[in-house]
Structure 1
Amino acid sequence: MNVVAIFDIGKTNKKVFLFNENYKIVWEKSVNLNETTDEDGFPCEDIEVLKNWILDRLSEIKELKDYVLKAINFSTYGASFVYIDENGKVLTPLYNYLKDYPEELKSNFYEKYKGEKKFAVKTASPVLGSLNSGMQIYRLKEEKPELFEKVKYCLHLPQFLSFLLTNEAYADITSIGCHTNMWNFKKMKYHKWLKEENISEKIPPIHFGKDVIMTRENLAIGVGLHDSSSAIIPYTINFTEPFVLLSTGTWSISLNPFNNKPLTFDESQNDCLCYMQYTEKPVKAARLFAGNEHEVQTKRLAEHFNVPVDTYKEVYFDKKIVANLRALNFQIIYPKKYNFDILKECPFQKRDLSNFKDYETAYHQLMLDLVEQQVFSTNLVIHNSPVKKIFVDGGFSKNSIYMNLLAEAFPDVEVYAASMAQASALGAALAIHQNWNPKPIQNDLIDLKFYKH
C-alpha cells in the first residue's frame, strides 16, 4: 500500500502518521519529549532529541512490510527558528517563543522602523516579542553578533525538519507570513528591515508548499508547513461557500479565508493577525489563549473540588444548569461591557469557587466564560464578511457544553463540530497530493456534526 508519512510536531505532542491514498490513517506513533533549557535556564524544545526521534521513526517506517513510503511532509508549531552553519550544524538552542523579550531591544527596533503602530499594520503582526519570530533573529544578531556571523541559514522549524532529510534549505510562506514581523503584506514581499540589518542573506529562497524535493531514493519530500495554515487546507479543498474555521488547541484560532481586508491597528491590538495559506493568499485570524486557560482552570477546579483533573470529560451539556447560572449572574447573552480586557482575561479567573455547589455547575460556568471570550474573538474576523458556517476542530469540538453554547451564540450561522483525524497532518499530506498520489481527492474527508441553537 502506498503511503505518505507526516510528522506533526506540536509543542507538547509529537506525532507521526502514515496516510494511505484515500487519506485514511493506517499507522501512527506519538510521544511527549522532555524539554531542555537554553543558556538562560528557560525551558525549550530539545532539538537533538526531536531530531533523533524523527530519524528513528523514519527507519522504523522503512522497515514496515505492508507499506511503500512515497512521500514525507511536516507540519509543526510556528514562531521558532533553527540556526544552522554552512555544514548544517545547529548553532543555538531552539528558543521558546514564550520567552520574555528584552524591552529595550524591542523599543529600539520599533523606533528605528516607524513605530509599533505602522509596523504592526504593515507586517500584520501584533507586537508579541518572541512570538514575532523575526524578532528572535534580530535578538541573536544584537546579543550574540559573533554567533550570528556563523549562521548560514535561519530556518523555521518545519523547514529545518525538511532540511534534515534533504539537505536543502528553503523558506516557506506559511511560516514567514505568520506574525513574524518579516513579511510586508501591503507589498507582498519581505519587509525591508531584513535587508537593512543584513539578515536577508541568511534567509533561504522561498519554496512552494505544493512542490517537493526528490531524494535519491525517489522519495518526495515537502518543505513543511506551519500547523495553523496546514489545518485549513482540508477545509478550503472541501468547501467553497464562506466559512470560519475555529481551530482549537492550546490557542483557539479563528481563521477566515474569506476576509482579505487589510489588518487594522485596532485588530492587531486585539490579537488579530494574518496567516498565509500555502497558495499565498492571506487568511485573517484571531487568537485566544483558550485551551491554555481551560487547562489552568480545570486544575484549579480539580483542586477545589478534590477530584481528578480530567473530571470535565464526564460533564455533558445541561440546559438547566446554564439557565440557572445565567439567572444568577443576570447574564445578558452577548455582548456585555467589561471593566477589563475580555480577550486577555477570562472572567472565570475572578470567580469565587465556593459559590458553586458542585464541580458540574462550576465547570458549566467556566465554559460560559470561555465561550463568551470566544465570541468576541471570532467576531473580529467574521466582521463584514459573508460567513455561513463555523467549523470547530481540535479539542473543544468534542466538548458538548462548548459546542452548544457556541451554536447558541451564533444564531445566524451554522455551527459544526468537524472531526477529521488530525487536520494539520492531513493538510500537510494534501498539500503535496499531486506529487505522490494518483487518485483524486475525495470529498468525505471531514465528518461534520451540526449543533442546533
Structure 2
Amino acid sequence: MIDPARPPAAPLVAVLDIGKTNAKLVVADPATGEELWQETRPNRPLAGAPYLAIDAAAIEAFLLGALSNAPERERIGTIVPVAHGACGALVDEAGLVLPVMDYEDPVLEEVADEYRAERDAFAVTGSPFLPLGLNLGRQIHFLERRFPAAFARARHLMMWPQYLSWRLTDVAAGEVTSLGCHTDLWEPATGRFSPLALRRGWDRLVPPLKAAGDVVGRIAPGIAAATGLHPQTAVLAGIHDSNASFLRHRLARPKDEPFVVISSGTWAVLLASGVPVSGLSEDRDCLVNVDALGAPTPTARFMGGREFAAIAGEAPAPAGPGDLDRVLAAGAVAWPSFVAAGGPFPGRQGFVENGEGLDAAGRSALAALYIALMADTSLDLLGARGTVVIEGPFADNALIGPLLAGLHPGRSVALSRDRAGTVGGALALASGGRAPEPRLRAVEPISDPRLTALRSRWRTGPRVAVG
C-alpha cells in the first residue's frame, strides 16, 4: 500500500526518452546505473494535421501506459524527460493550440528565404542556417505566419522535454540545452535570448528557465491515479538527448580534460569539450550547443542512423573484418551524402562506387566505413582533441569504432558499454551528478594502409554521382 505522505524507499528513476524515430520508457536504478525495464514504440505522424506533425497525444498515451506497466512502479521516485531537438510545442491553459510540428516537413522550404532574411548571424547564435525545420525558429516563423489566430492564443512555447514535464506536473518551464540546440532563439556566449527571439516577442512565450536537473514539480494527482505511481514522484525539467549523453562524461572527467562524445541514433551528434567555439564551419553543419551546465559546446552533426540504413538496408546484416577486407579489395566507396538534412557535405548526392558485387554483410561493412569517414571529417572540423567516446547503436557496431581509430593513428576511441547514454545522463541529473561512471571499452584500431589512402581520396574525390 502506497503511503502518499512518504516518498518511496530506494527510489528508481523513470527516463522518458523521446527520439525522432522511437519513444521509450526506461526504468533504472540510479545507485548502480542498471536498466531494469523498458518499453518502446515507433513514432508515427499525426493523421489529419494541416502539416507534418508529431502525434503528441499518442506519445503521451504510450508513456502513461508504459508507466502503468512498469514493474515496481511505486518505487519510481523521479521522472526525467529526455527528447530530441528542433521541436517545440505551443500551448495555452487547455493544451496544444497547434499540432507539434515535425522538422522534416518540406513545406518549411516555402518560407526559407523570408526566414533567412530575419534570422541572426551565425556569430551571434552559433546556429547555422539548416534545411527544413531543423532551426526551430523557422517552424515558429511558419506557424505564426500561416496560423496567426491559433498562434495568438499560445501562452507558452515549450521545448519538447519541457512539454512532457508540463503534461506530468502542470508546471511550465524552459531549459537551455533545448533552447540552445540550433534553434536560432539563444545566444550561447551571453546566456540570453537571441535578437530574433526578442524582436519577434517569442522570448515572452518561453516559461521561466530551469536547470535540466531542477525539480519542476510532483506528478499531478490525475497522473498518479492513472499510473499507480507514488504521488510524491518528482519530475525534472528534462534535457536535450545528445546533451544527456554528453553530460555524464563531462561529470566523470576533470573539468579541463578534452574529449568528444558521439551520440548516435537517427542522428550522429559530436559534442566536443576542451576546444574553442570560434572558427566553426557554419556551412558544414557545425554549431554551438549549450550543455547542461550552461557552457557553449562545439558540435558537429550528420544523420548517421539514416545514412547507415540507406547504404546497408533497414535490416543490416552483421559485418566483420573479413567483410571490410572485401570492401577495400573491391575499391568500394560510399560518397556523401545520403540524406538531405545537413551534415559536413550539404547539397551533395550520395552514391556507391564499385559496390555491385557486395553481399549484405559487405554493404554493412561499407556503411560502417562511411560512418567512420563522416565522423573523422566532423572531428577535424571541430578541431577535436582527446578520447572519442561512441554512445548508442554505433557503439554496438563491430567496425565503426576500430575504423575511426584506424583512420587517424594515435586517436583514442572508446565504446560505451551502456545501452543508452541518454539514460546515463538522466540518472546523473536525478542523482545530482552522482550517478555511476560510464562503462567504457577501448577499441583496437584497424591498421590498414588502404584506409590511409582512402581517407585522403574520400576527402578530395567525387562528391556527386557520375552519369
Task: Report the TM-score range of the alignment, normalised by the length of the smaller protein.
Answer: 0.7 to 0.9
- Cα distance per residue 1:293-347 (max 9 Å; x no partner): 1112223xxxxxxxxx53522x212264255245x88x9xxxxxxxxx9724788
> 2:223 matched to which residue of 1?
none
Aligned residues: 413
SS of 1:36 mapped into structure 2: coil
- Structure 2 unaligned spans of 5+: 1-9, 220-230, 335-342, 447-467
Residue pair 2:14, 2:26 contacting (<8 A) in 1 also? yes
- C-alpha RMSD of matched pairs (Å): 2.6
Determine the structure 1 residue equivalent to 2:426. 428
The answer as to 2:5 corresponding to 1:7 is no
Instruction: Confirm whether residue 274 of structure 1 aligns to residue 288 of structure 2.
Output: yes
- Tell me the residue number matched to 1:107: 113
Match of 1:316 in 2: 320
The correspondence for 2:301, drawn from 287, 303, 307, is 287
Closer/same/farther in 2, CA of residues 66 and 92 from structure 1, 3 Å limit: closer
Deviation, structure 1 residue 100: 2.4
Correspondence for 1:138: 141
Residue 89 of structure 1 is matched in structure 2 by 95
Within 1, Cα distance between the matches of 2:302 and 2:148? Answer: 35
From the superposition, tell whether residues 17 and 39 of structure 1 become closer, same or farther in structure 2 (CA, over 3 Å).
Answer: closer
Percent of aligned positions that are identical: 22
**Cα distance in 1, alignment partners of residues 311 and 39 from structure 2:** 30
1:107, distance to aligned residue in structure 2 (A): 2.4
Partner of 2:453: none
Is it true that 1:72 corresponds to 2:70 in the alignment?
no
Q: Does 1:23 align with 2:23?
A: no
Structure 1 residue runs of 4 or more that deviate by more than 4 Å after TM superposition: 64-67, 101-104, 345-348
Matched, 1:200 2:203: yes
Measure the CA separation in 2 of the matches of 1:204 and 1:53. 26
Are the aligned partners of 1:245 and 1:393 in contact in 2 as well (CA < 8 Å)? yes
* SS at 2:262 equivalent: strand
What pairs up with 1:235-250 in 2 under 5 angstroms? 235-240=249-254, 241-250=257-266
Equivalent-residue separation in structure 2 for 1:126 and 1:69 (angstroms): 40
Match of 1:119 in 2: 121
Q: Does the CA contact (< 8 Å) of 1:124 and 1:263 recur in 2? A: no
Offset of residue 53 of structure 1 = 1.5
- 2:338 maps to 1:372: no
* 1:19 Cα deviation after fit: 1.5
Name the aligned partner's letter for residue 441 of structure 2: L
Query: How much has 1:103 moved relative to structure 2?
Result: 4.8
Partner of 2:411: 413
- Comparing 250-259 with 269-278, greater Cα deviation is found at 250-259
With normalisation by structure 1, the TM-score equals 0.84
Question: What do the CA deviations read for 1:143-180 (whole angstroms, capped 9, x no partner)?
Answer: 21111110000111110000011111111000000000
SS at match of 1:130: coil
SS at match of 2:39: strand
Q: 1:38 to 1:379 in 2, by over 3 A?
A: farther
Q: Residue 452 of structure 1 corresponds to which residue in structure 2?
A: 445
User: Structure 1: how far apart are the matches of 2:13 and 2:414?
Assistant: 28
Name the aligned partner's letter for residue 211 of structure 1: D
CA contact (8 A) 2:188 2:289 kept: no
Corresponding residue of 2:239: 225
Question: In 2 relative to 1, CA 57–104 (structure 1 residues): closer, same or farther, beyond 3 Å?
Answer: closer
Quick one: structure 1 residues 191 and 325, their matched pair in 2 at CA, closer, same or farther if it must change by over 3 Å? Answer: same
Query: Does the 8 Å CA contact 1:80/1:133 hold for their aligned counterparts?
Result: yes
CA distance in 2: counterparts of 1:66 and 1:177, whole angstroms: 33
2:43 & 2:363 partners in 1: Cα distance? 33
8 Å contact kept, 2:416–2:440? yes
| Residues 235-264 of structure 1: CA deviation (Å, up to 9, x unaligned) | 112223321111121111111022233354
Are the equivalent residues in 2 in contact too, given 1:346–1:369 (CA < 8 A)? no
CA distance in 2, matches of 1:14, 1:364: 28
Local SS of the residue matching 1:364 = helix
Q: Is the 8 A contact 2:414 2:440 kept in 1?
A: no
With the length of structure 2 as denominator, give the TM-score of the two structures: 0.81
The alpha-carbon distance between structure 1 residues 357 and 323, as it changes in their structure 2 partners (threshold 3 A), is: closer
CA gap of 1:159–1:66, structure 2 versus 1, over 3 A, is: closer
CA offset at residue 398 of structure 1? 1.5
Contact 1:325 1:365 in 2 (8 A): no
